[in-house]
Each structure stands twice: as C-alpha cells, then as structure tokens.
Amino acid sequence: GLAEGQVVVQVHSGSRGLGHQVASDYVRQFQSAIHKFNITLPDRELVCAPIESQEGSSYLAAMACAANYAFANRQILTAFVREAFDSILRQTFGDDTMLNQVYDVAHNIAKIEFHNVDGVQEQLCIHRKGATRSFGSETIKATGTLAEFPPAYQASGQPVLVPGSMGTGSWVMVGCDQSTDLSFGSCCHGAGRRMSRSKAKRTIWGSDLKQELEDSGIIVRAKSMAGLAEEAPAAYKDVDIVVEVAHVSGLARRVARIVPIGVIKG
C-alpha cells in the first residue's frame, strides 16, 4: 500500500529498560553456563546456553515478556498517532487521514524456524539482535511460517524495515528467498551505529543539531538536547550504502525510501 508522495509514520520503540535488564541478567548467567555446558566461543560477547537447559528456556521466556511489552508499547504509541492525525487533519482530508499499519517487528527476538543445514532440513532457534527476518515468498511457504503472514505478504515476501537516522532517509525493503542460504533469512534492521551514544553526547551539541535539522526542513521535538544528540545523523552509517549492499547481495530488495519531515525524540 505504499506509494510515492505519501506521509508515513515510523515508530521506533521497544521494551525500554525491561529488555536491557533481561539482556544484562542473562548475559551474566550465560557466562557461567558456557563452562557448565563446555561451550567454546570465539568471542565472549557470544555467550549462550542450550535451549532445553534451565538457563536457555528461562531466557526465551524472559525475552518473550520483553517482546510482548514492546509490541504493546508500540500499539499504544500508534493509537496516539492515529488520534493526532484524526483530530488535526480529518476536517480537511476526511477519511483520507486513516493510517494503516504496514508492519511491526521486534528489534531483538528469537524465532523457531526450519532451515536447510548441509542439505538437511533442521528446526532451529534463530536469534536476531539488531537484525530482522527477511523471508521471500517461497521461503515463507518452506519454513513453516505461512500462518504468521497475511496473504499479501505470503505472495510478496516479508517487509524489511531499515531505519536510517533523524536527518537521513529510511528504507522499506522486502525479503528475498536468497537470504535463506546467505543468512538464515536475515537482513540488517537499521543503518548501524558508527558512534556510541555516549560518544555522540560528548561530541555533538543537541541544540546545534536541532537547529541544523530544522534548517534542512525537518521539524524536531525532543525531551532533552542530550537525548537528541544520542541519535544524531553523524552517529550512524550511511543507510543508502547499507541498503545497497543488502539489495545487491540478495538479502532484501528495495521498495521505498522514506525522507524525514518531522522527528519526535522521547
């Protein structure tokens, strides 16, 4: 349903402190679990535990709680957006102010899926952190996920949302079947940072950034100038280049580029 010239709204919010707490708690637990289960890792950041273990099953349950919180959070924010559009624009545009949801997806989630591993169809737990599922239409049929998608996306492939930054474009892409062989059906879920939040706050002055964005025609509302600096465009990679790589490699296909006209930073 996307078309050139539309106004679209992106809501980027999750489980807030709950998800961070879940991650912190279980990273600590898993650091002990890898010794308990004799797991050797190339990098300590990859701590993990078997799904069937007490540690693994507890983490999946806690992650589900955080994901449910995040979905509810975005539903409430979306309801407020709809109310705002309705109250301000309905008198002028009538029913054309109706907002239809294109897609909602978690930023950190584990999914049970079927994938081909060395020529054998295996049931796997795919944990995507800062990544998103990117199934093409044939993959949706083959991986046991058909019921998760409405008919339109069963036919076209799965939407892939790739936000850029407050001052640059963002992208809506669609999953490709080729991604199943390349990345277990995964694609990037954002441009990715080139600068940490703390470094951005140290090097970028929020009020200057606000003025720069507004001078470029982007309306800005922020709870704090320090919070605004955290999400400065300079803190992120060039989303167009990142998307080009995903497109050319076959992880996902470009559909629509979204250009910011207004930003609200909580």
107 belongs to the catalytic site: no
Among the listed residues 12, 115, 189, 247, the single catalytic one is 189
SS (H, E, C) the chain: CCCCCCCCCCCCCCCCHHHHHHHHHHHHHHHHHHHHCCCCCCCHHHCCCCCCCHHHHHHHHHHHHHHHHHHHHHHHHHHHHHHHHHHHHHHHHHHHHCCCCCCCCCCEEEEEEEEEECCEEEEEEEEEECEEECCCHHHHHHCCCHHHCCHHHHHHCCEEEECCCCCCCEEEEEECCCHHHHHCCEEECCCCECCCHHHHHHHCCHHHHHHHHHHCCCEEEECCHHHHHHCCHHHECCHHHHHHHHHHHCCEEEEEEECCCEEEEC
Residue with token string 């294109």: 102
CB of 2 closer than 8 Å to CB of 172: yes
Residues belonging to the active site: 189
